[in-house]
Amino acid sequence: MIESELSKAKDQDLISSVETMKRTAALARQVAVQTGTAIVVSKDEKACVAHGG
């Protein structure tokens, strides 16, 4: 499901999951910066390494 489809879902937990994933990703980036750890992210359907610091 893509984000626009999720907003039409009947299950409130499924709808809320998008914002939860965004908050979790932001926290993961913050921890990566604090610890100097690289993380892998998806951009344009390709895996990219994002360096944390």
Structure tokens at 51: 């360096």
Q: What is the pLDDT of residue 53?
A: 57
- pLDDT for the residue 1: 63
pLDDT in tens, 1-53: 677 777 788 888 888 888 898 899 899 989 999 999 998 888 888 988 877 65
Residue 28's domain comprises 3-50
The string of pLDDT tens digits covering residues 40-52 is 888 888 988 877 6
Is residue 53 within 8 Å of 39, Cβ to Cβ? no
pLDDT at 6: 74
Q: Per the structure, how many domains does the chain have? A: 1
